[in-house]
């Protein structure tokens, strides 16, 4: 399996979650598109690209079980969420709700949107440990007030890897007349999706993480009743068109990541989604368990709320700033030959471990063997 990815064999790549990793056959497919583009740039952009992009868009919408009329490509989840925030016309009466499991850059984007509009950002704490996933729903809903206009909720949280029950959340939020923006940056590929069923007001997800597409490939879904008011961040030739066409051209760029998403999905599908998801879920849990045993630290929660990423708390006294945890990641890479995501969250420091098709138990066991010495 490992040979299908051009990953450095001397490194244990235990951080798929941050930047993904593109398999060689998918890179070859992107190369094919790039060669086509550069064999005749004018023909490619004027005559070939519009239909090719639309075919890719519709195929990917089908994979997500999304209405293709509400689905467009975006460079990444960050851009997609900024797009929604910029289009919403927040006012000083509104609150934007995010949780403390959210991705830092998205919180900053929400903070900026609030500052520009006079709205209020509410960063709501969602406690872990929890007994069950249902508690997560109640905890998010407890952050709503009668001023909450929109809640941005991660499907799979960035710092903790916790999988939120987004279907229940969307339903509850709608019941409280709060718009839902589901940040599914990690969702496509890690979990099965049905965006029609989910029926969120807004959704975004990255294909360059768990679908292993080239970087710069994400999606934005907008529910039918909001499509008129959602415009791209960048005004370009299609500005006077309606959604989805308004997003079809955002200036000269390399659109090959989008064109390659169907091939990436096909590649992963050939590995078998169910088999792959089980492998990743079990391996991530195993990896965290062996490292926790070695460090003698407790599980952050016993509830069954993880998929392809797991979380382990570092012992007291470990670095607890971004600079400190980055330095720790660098030491782990240099001395133990493993790439891991170490970061502070709340008042503590953690390592988030990913498991993807190319990972194996021995990589986590080696980390468990070396980490205690490095932290002592």
Ligand X SMILES: Cc1ncc(COP(=O)(O)O)c(C=O)c1O
Residue 112 DSSP one-character state:
H
Minimum distance from residue 186 beta carbon to ligand X (Å): 6
**# binding residues, ligand X (CB under 6 A):** 12
Bridge-partner residues for 343, per DSSP? 350
Contact criterion met (CB below 8 Å) for 6 and 27: yes
320 part of the interface to ligand X, by CB under 6 A: no
Cis peptide before 244 (omega within 30 of 0): yes
Tokens at 80, concatenated? 């997609």
Q: Is the CB of 7 or the CB of 181 nearer to ligand X?
A: 181
Q: Which of helix, strand or coil describes residue 265? A: helix
349 part of the interface to ligand X, by CB under 6 A: no
Within residues 92-111, the interface with ligand X by CB under 6 A covers: 103, 106
339 part of the interface to ligand X, by CB under 6 A: no
* Nearest one of 148, 219, 140 to 178, comparing CA atoms: 148
Within the chain, residue ranges assigned H as helices are 16-19, 24-39, 41-42, 49-64, 77-87, 104-117, 133-141, 166-175, 187-190, 195-198, 256-271, 273-295, 322-336, 361-375
Contact stretch for ligand X (CB under 6 A) within 37-45, 165-173, 183-191, 288-296: 183-191
Minimum distance from residue 198 beta carbon to ligand X (Å): 16
Tokens at 39, concatenated? 């064999």
160 part of the interface to ligand X, by CB under 6 A: no
Among 15, 76, 180, 349, binds ligand X (CB under 6 A): 76
Tokens at 148, concatenated? 């909450």
Contact stretch for ligand X (CB under 6 A) within 85-93, 112-120, 181-189, 361-369: 181-189
356 part of the interface to ligand X, by CB under 6 A: no
Contact stretch for ligand X (CB under 6 A) within 87-95, 179-187, 274-282, 296-304: 179-187
220 part of the interface to ligand X, by CB under 6 A: no
267 part of the interface to ligand X, by CB under 6 A: no
Residue 306 DSSP one-character state:
-
DSSP letter string, 155-184 = SB-TTT-PBP-HHHHHHHHHHTT-EEEEEE
Q: Is the CB of 79 or the CB of 246 nearer to ligand X?
A: 79
Rounded distance between C-alpha atoms, residue 246 and residue 259, angstroms: 18
Q: Is the CB of 82 or the CB of 349 nearer to ligand X?
A: 82
CA dihedral 126, 131, 134, 139 (to 10 degrees): -20
352 part of the interface to ligand X, by CB under 6 A: no
Binding mask 18-57 for ligand X (x = CB under 6 A): x---------------------------------------
Among 83, 206, 256, 260, binds ligand X (CB under 6 A): 206
What does the binding site for ligand X look like in residue numbers (CB under 6 A)? 18, 76-78, 103, 106, 154, 158, 183, 185-186, 206
């Amino acid at each position: 399996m490992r040979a299908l990815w051009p990953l450095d064999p001397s490194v244990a790549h235990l951080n798929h979650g941050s930047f993904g990793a593109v398999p060689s056959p998918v890179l070859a497919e992107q190369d094919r598109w790039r060669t086509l583009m550069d064999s005749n740039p004018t023909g490619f952009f004027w005559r070939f690209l519009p239909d090719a992009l639309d075919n890719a868009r519709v195929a990917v919408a089908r994979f997500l079980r999304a209405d293709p009329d509400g689905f467009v490509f975006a460079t990444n989840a960050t851009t997609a969420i900024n797009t929604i925030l910029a289009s919403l016309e927040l006012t000083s009466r509104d609150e934007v709700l995010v949780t403390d499991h959210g991705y830092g850059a998205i919180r900053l984007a929400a903070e900026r949107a609030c500052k520009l509009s006079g709205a209020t950002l509410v960063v709501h704490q969602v406690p872990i440990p929890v007994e069950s996933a249902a508690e997560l729903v109640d905890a998010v809903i407890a952050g709503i007030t009668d001023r909450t206009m929109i809640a941005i909720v991660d499907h799979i949280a960035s710092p903790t890897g916790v999988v939120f029950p987004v279907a229940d959340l969307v339903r509850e939020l709608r019941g409280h007349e709060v718009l839902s923006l589901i940040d599914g940056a990690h969702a496509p590929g890690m979990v099965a999706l049905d965006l029609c069923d989910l029926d969120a007001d807004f959704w975004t997800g990255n294909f360059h993480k768990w679908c292993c597409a080239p970087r710069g490939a994400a999606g934005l879904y907008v529910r039918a009743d909001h499509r008129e008011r959602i415009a791209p961040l960048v005004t370009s030739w299609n500005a006077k068109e309606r959604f989805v066409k308004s997003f079809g051209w955002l200036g000269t760029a390399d659109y090959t990541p989008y064109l390659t998403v169907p091939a990436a999905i096909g590649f992963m599908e050939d590995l078998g989604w169910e088999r792959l998801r089980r492998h990743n879920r079990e391996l991530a849990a195993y990896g965290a368990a062996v490292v926790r045993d070695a460090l003698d630290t407790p599980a952050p929660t016993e509830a069954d709320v993880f998929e392809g990423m797991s979380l382990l708390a570092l012992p007291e006294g470990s670095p607890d700033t971004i600079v400190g945890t980055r330095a720790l990641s660098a030491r782990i890479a240099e001395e133990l030959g493993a790439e891991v995501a170490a970061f502070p969250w709340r008042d503590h420091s953690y390592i988030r471990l990913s498991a993807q098709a190319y990972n194996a138990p021995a990589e986590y066991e080696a980390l468990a063997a070396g980490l205690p010495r490095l932290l002592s």
